[in-house]
Every structure is written in structure tokens, then in C-alpha cells.
């Protein structure tokens, strides 16, 4: 593993670490509120507020870690025929929009010209990853597919992740039916921590094994 690979893995670990620290502070802050105020209504409001924050750290880690990895791939200056088809396709995803619907012969020629131009240049991934602001399991596995990460390593998280997103959406939209306990919050913090850790392991493996490069026959 070269220096560039070590650096990006360290950046991913740092991104994970500050989020885990903030999640721990959520628990510590509740203990202060519970001890000083001893007011069930205030406690319920605080606990309800914390769940969207827990989800935000999950989505935030995914978005930021993908951004870091994309920037890492860009810095290597790989040609289009050196990266995997999935990375190449994602990097040029917007160009495929021109294939929708019917096209004139001139439009097809223009697409061919643009495609050949892409193939002659180094890979460049721009923009941030699209989580659709609802990072359910179905959306998550689509993102994992870009890096060709084995989805089966995350199957155990499916039910709880979808449940977390659904509760977060309900709270964010003003629904008032959820009463959360401290144990619920502690459980979701532990869940998100474990999920980020698993993703970090797979991302580090992707970098160390150069999963972004095409395997020569």
C-alpha cells in the first residue's frame, strides 16, 4: 500500500471518528438533561430530536466517504481504459441521459464523438453521491455496486436501516406518534456505529486491493 492509499484510509477513519465522538456526546448530553431537568416532556422532545441527527451522521458518512474516494481516484489520473466499467459508467453517468428517447442521426453522431473523447481522456468523477435524501437499504446497495462491494456483507442491516429511515422521515415531517426511550437512542447509535465501521472496512479493502482498476486478462 503506497502513501496515497494510506492517506485516504486515514481520512476515511478521521471522518468516521469525529462522527462517532458526536454520537457519544448525544448520549452524554441526555444524561445531563435528564439529571438537571427531570422533566419527561423535555426528555421526550430531546430524544425525538436526536434520531434525525443519528440518521444524518449515517448519510453524512456515506456522502463524505464517497467524495473522498472519488477525489482519490481523480488524483491518480487513470485513463478511462484503466478503471472498472462501473467507475467509468458512474463518472460519465450524465452523458447517458442523451440516450433517452428517439434521436436523429446527427444526435447519435454527437454522442459517439463525446464518447470517444471520454475514452481518450483521464477519468474525472465530479459531483457528490446521490442518496436521494433517504438512504434506505435499497439505495445503499445501489451505491455499494459502484465499488463492486459484496452486498451480502450488509444484509444483516437491512431491516434496522429501513426502520431507522422510516422513523426519521416521520419525525422530520412532523408526526407526533413516536415516543422514544433512551434505550432506543442508544440502540440506534450502536447500530449506526456498527454500520459505518463495516462500510469503512469495505472501503479500505476497495482501496488496498485497487478495486477501482480493471483487472488485466
What's the number of domains the chain is made of?
1
| 87 within a domain of the structure (yes/no) | no
Best CA proximity match to 205, nearest among 151, 147, 152: 147
Q: What is the mean pLDDT of the chain?
A: 86
Phi, psi (5° rounding) for residue 213? -100, 145
| 176 within a domain of the structure (yes/no) | yes
Q: For 94-134, how does the pLDDT look when each residue is reduced to its tens digit (9 = 90+)? A: 766 666 667 777 777 777 777 777 777 888 888 888 898 89
Q: For 51-108, how does the pLDDT look when each residue is reduced to its tens digit (9 = 90+)? A: 999 999 999 999 999 999 999 999 999 988 899 989 988 888 776 666 666 777 777 7
Dist CA 115 CA 109 (whole Å)? 10
| 110 within a domain of the structure (yes/no) | no
Which residues are 83's β-sheet partners?
213
| 89 within a domain of the structure (yes/no) | no
Q: What is the pTM of this model?
A: 0.87
| 183 within a domain of the structure (yes/no) | yes
Residues in the chain: 217
Determine whether 95 is exposed, middle or buried from the number of CB atoms within 10 Å of its CB (0-12, 13-18, 19+). Answer: middle
Which range among 158-167, 176-185, 199-208 shows the weakest confidence by mean pLDDT? 176-185
Dist CA 190 CA 200 (whole Å)? 15
Dist CA 17 CA 9 (whole Å)? 12
Range of the domain at 147: 3-78+123-208
| 43 within a domain of the structure (yes/no) | yes
Best CA proximity match to 12, nearest among 51, 52, 70: 70
Q: For 10-34, how does the pLDDT look when each residue is reduced to its tens digit (9 = 90+)? A: 999 999 999 999 998 887 776 666 5
Amino acid at each position: 500500500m503506497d502513501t496515497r492509499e494510506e492517506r485516504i484510509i486515514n481520512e476515511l477513519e478521521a471522518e468516521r471518528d469525529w462522527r462517532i465522538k458526536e454520537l457519544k456526546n448525544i448520549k452524554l448530553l441526555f444524561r445531563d438533561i435528564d439529571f438537571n431537568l427531570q422533566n419527561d416532556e423535555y426528555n421526550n422532545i430531546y430524544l425525538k430530536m436526536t434520531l434525525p441527527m443519528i440518521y444524518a451522521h449515517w448519510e453524512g458518512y456515506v456522502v463524505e466517504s464517497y467524495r473522498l474516494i472519488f477525489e482519490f481516484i481523480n488524483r491518480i489520473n487513470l485513463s478511462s481504459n484503466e478503471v472498472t466499467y462501473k467507475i467509468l459508467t458512474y463518472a460519465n453517468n450524465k452523458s447517458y441521459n442523451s440516450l433517452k428517447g428517439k434521436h436523429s442521426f446527427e444526435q447519435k453522431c454527437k454522442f459517439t464523438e463525446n464518447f470517444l473523447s471520454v475514452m481518450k481522456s483521464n477519468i474525472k468523477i465530479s459531483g457528490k453521491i446521490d442518496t436521494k435524501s433517504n438512504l434506505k437499504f435499497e439505495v445503499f446497495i445501489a451505491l455499494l455496486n459502484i465499488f463492486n462491494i459484496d452486498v451480502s456483507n450488509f444484509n444483516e442491516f437491512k431491516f434496522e436501516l429501513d426502520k431507522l429511515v422510516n422513523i426519521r422521515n416521520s419525525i422530520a415531517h412532523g408526526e407526533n406518534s413516536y415516543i422514544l426511550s433512551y434505550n432506543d437512542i442508544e440502540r440506534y447509535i450502536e447500530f449506526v456505529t456498527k454500520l459505518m465501521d463495516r462500510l469503512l472496512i469495505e472501503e479500505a479493502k476497495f482501496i488496498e486491493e485497487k478495486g477501482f482498476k480493471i483487472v488485466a486478462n
